[in-house]
Structure 1
Amino acid sequence: MKPIFIMAIISLLIFLSLPTPSFSLSQPCNKDDEKVLFQIKKSLGNPYHLASWQKTLDCCHWYCLKCNKTTGRVIELTIFSGNISGQIPHEVGNLPYLQTLLFRKLTNLTGEIPSAITKLTQLTSLRLSWTNLSGPVPSFLSQLTNLDFLDLSFNDLTGSIPPELATLPKLSGLRLDRNKLTGVIPESFGMSTGNLQYLYLSHNQLTGDVPRSLGYLNFTWIDFSRNQLTGDLNMFFGANKTIQIADFSRNSFQFNLSEVEFPASLMYLDLNHKKIYGSLPLTLTGLSLQYLNVSYNRLCGKIPQGGDLQKFDNTSYFHNRCLCGSPLPACT
Structure 2
Amino acid sequence: MTPRYAMFLAFASLLLFLYCKGCYVSAATCHPDDESGLLAFKAGITEDPLGLLSNWKPGTECCHWNGISCLEDKRVRFISLYGQPDNPKGYLSGTFSPLLSKVRNLRSINFIDLRNMTGSFPKFVYHLPRLIFLHIENCKLSGPLPTDIGRLSNLNELGLKGNRFSGPIPNSLRNMKELTQLHLGGNRFSGEIPNFWDSFPNLVYLQLQNNKFSGGIPTSIASLAPKLGNLELNNNQLSGKIPESMNKLVDPFPDLAIERIASLDLSYNKFKLGKIPKWVSSSTVINSLKLAGCGIKMRLDDWKPSWTLYYNFIDLSDNEISGSVVNLVNGTERLEGFWMSGNQLKFNLSDFKMHESLKNLDLSRNQVFGSVPQSIVGLEKLNLSYNRLCGKIPMSKFPAAAFVGNACLCGSPLPACRRQ
Instruction: Please confirm whether the aligned pair reaches a TM-score higher than 0.5, indicating the same fold.
Output: yes
| Larger Rg belongs to | 2
* Residue from 253, 261, 285 that aligns with 1:265: 285
Residue 304 of structure 2 aligns with which residue? 283
Identical counterparts, % of pairs: 27
Residue 37 of structure 1 aligns with which residue? 38
How far did 1:242 drift? 0.7
How far did 1:323 drift? 5.9
Paired residue type of 1:134: S
Paired residue type of 2:142: S
C-alpha separation between the residues in 1 aligned to 2:233 and 2:180? 17
Give yes or no for contact 2:273–2:294 (8 Å, CA) kept in 1.
Answer: no
C-alpha separation between the residues in 2 aligned to 1:306 and 1:150? 36
1:230-286 CA distances to partner (integer Å, 9 max, x unpaired)? Answer: 134644764x52111111111111234265142111111111112233454543263
C-alpha separation between the residues in 1 aligned to 2:79 and 2:127? 15
C-alpha separation between the residues in 1 aligned to 2:346 and 2:306? 16
C-alpha separation between the residues in 1 aligned to 2:172 and 2:95? 25
RMSD after superposition:
3.0
Residue 188 of structure 2 aligns with which residue? 180
Do the aligned partners of residues 236 and 222 (structure 1) sit closer, same or farther apart at CA in structure 2, a change above 3 Å counting?
Answer: farther
How far did 1:111 drift? 1.0
* TM-score, structure 2 normalization: 0.64
Q: Return 72-81 or 272-281, whichever deviates more.
A: 272-281
Q: Which structure has the higher relative contact order (CA within 8 Å, separation 6+)?
A: 1
How far did 1:92 drift? 1.3
Do the aligned partners of residues 236 and 28 (structure 1) sit closer, same or farther apart at CA in structure 2, a change above 3 Å counting?
Answer: farther
Residue 314 of structure 2 aligns with which residue? 292
How far did 1:192 drift? 2.2
State the number of aligned residues. 301
Give yes or no for contact 2:37–2:101 (8 Å, CA) kept in 1.
Answer: no
Residue 74 of structure 1 aligns with which residue? 76
* Residue from 272, 290, 304 that aligns with 1:254: 272
Residue 173 of structure 2 corresponds to residue 170 of structure 1: no
Residue 155 of structure 1 aligns with which residue? 163
Do the aligned partners of residues 114 and 306 (structure 1) sit closer, same or farther apart at CA in structure 2, a change above 3 Å counting?
Answer: closer
C-alpha separation between the residues in 1 aligned to 2:277 and 2:34? 58
How far did 1:66 drift? 0.9
Unaligned runs of 5+ in 1: 1-24
Give yes or no for contact 2:180–2:202 (8 Å, CA) kept in 1.
Answer: yes
Give yes or no for contact 1:237–1:243 (8 Å, CA) kept in 2.
Answer: no
Give yes or no for contact 1:285–1:306 (8 Å, CA) kept in 2.
Answer: no
Residue 305 of structure 1 aligns with which residue? 327
Paired residue type of 1:292: I
C-alpha separation between the residues in 1 aligned to 2:210 and 2:176? 24
Do the aligned partners of residues 209 and 234 (structure 1) sit closer, same or farther apart at CA in structure 2, a change above 3 Å counting?
Answer: closer
Residue 55 of structure 2 corresponds to residue 52 of structure 1: yes
* TM-score, structure 1 normalization: 0.79
C-alpha separation between the residues in 2 aligned to 1:249 and 1:260? 17
C-alpha separation between the residues in 2 aligned to 1:85 and 1:222? 32
How far did 1:35 drift? 2.2
1:139-186 CA distances to partner (integer Å, 9 max, x unpaired)? Answer: 322211221111111111111122322321210111111111111111
Residue 418 of structure 2 aligns with which residue? none
C-alpha separation between the residues in 1 aligned to 2:40 and 2:235? 41
Residue 9 of structure 1 aligns with which residue? none
C-alpha separation between the residues in 2 aligned to 1:267 and 1:136? 34
Query: Where in structure 2 are the equivalents of 1:159-238 lying within 5 Å?
Result: 159-188=167-196, 190-218=197-225, 219-231=228-240, 232=251, 234-235=253-254, 238=257
C-alpha separation between the residues in 1 aligned to 2:229 and 2:346? 31
Q: Secondary structure at the match of 1:133?
A: strand
Q: Secondary structure at the match of 2:235?
A: coil
C-alpha separation between the residues in 1 aligned to 2:272 and 2:107? 42
How far did 1:45 drift? 4.6
Query: Where in structure 2 are the equivalents of 1:66-145 lying within 5 Å?
Result: 66-69=69-72, 71-81=73-83, 83-145=91-153
Give yes or no for contact 2:29–2:60 (8 Å, CA) kept in 1.
Answer: no
Do the aligned partners of residues 75 and 275 (structure 1) sit closer, same or farther apart at CA in structure 2, a change above 3 Å counting?
Answer: same
Q: Secondary structure at the match of 2:178?
A: coil
Give yes or no for contact 1:49–1:83 (8 Å, CA) kept in 2.
Answer: no
Paired residue type of 1:222: L
Q: Return 294-303 or 246-255, whichever deviates more.
A: 294-303
Q: Secondary structure at the match of 1:286?
A: coil
Residue 11 of structure 1 aligns with which residue? none
Give yes or no for contact 1:285–1:305 (8 Å, CA) kept in 2.
Answer: no
Give yes or no for contact 1:203–1:226 (8 Å, CA) kept in 2.
Answer: yes
Give yes or no for contact 2:308–2:331 (8 Å, CA) kept in 1.
Answer: no
How far did 1:303 drift? 6.0
Paired residue type of 1:192: S
Paired residue type of 2:317: S
C-alpha separation between the residues in 2 aligned to 1:306 and 1:83? 43
Residue 245 of structure 1 aligns with which residue? 263
Do the aligned partners of residues 42 and 55 (structure 1) sit closer, same or farther apart at CA in structure 2, a change above 3 Å counting?
Answer: same
How far did 1:65 drift? 0.7
Residue 18 of structure 1 aligns with which residue? none
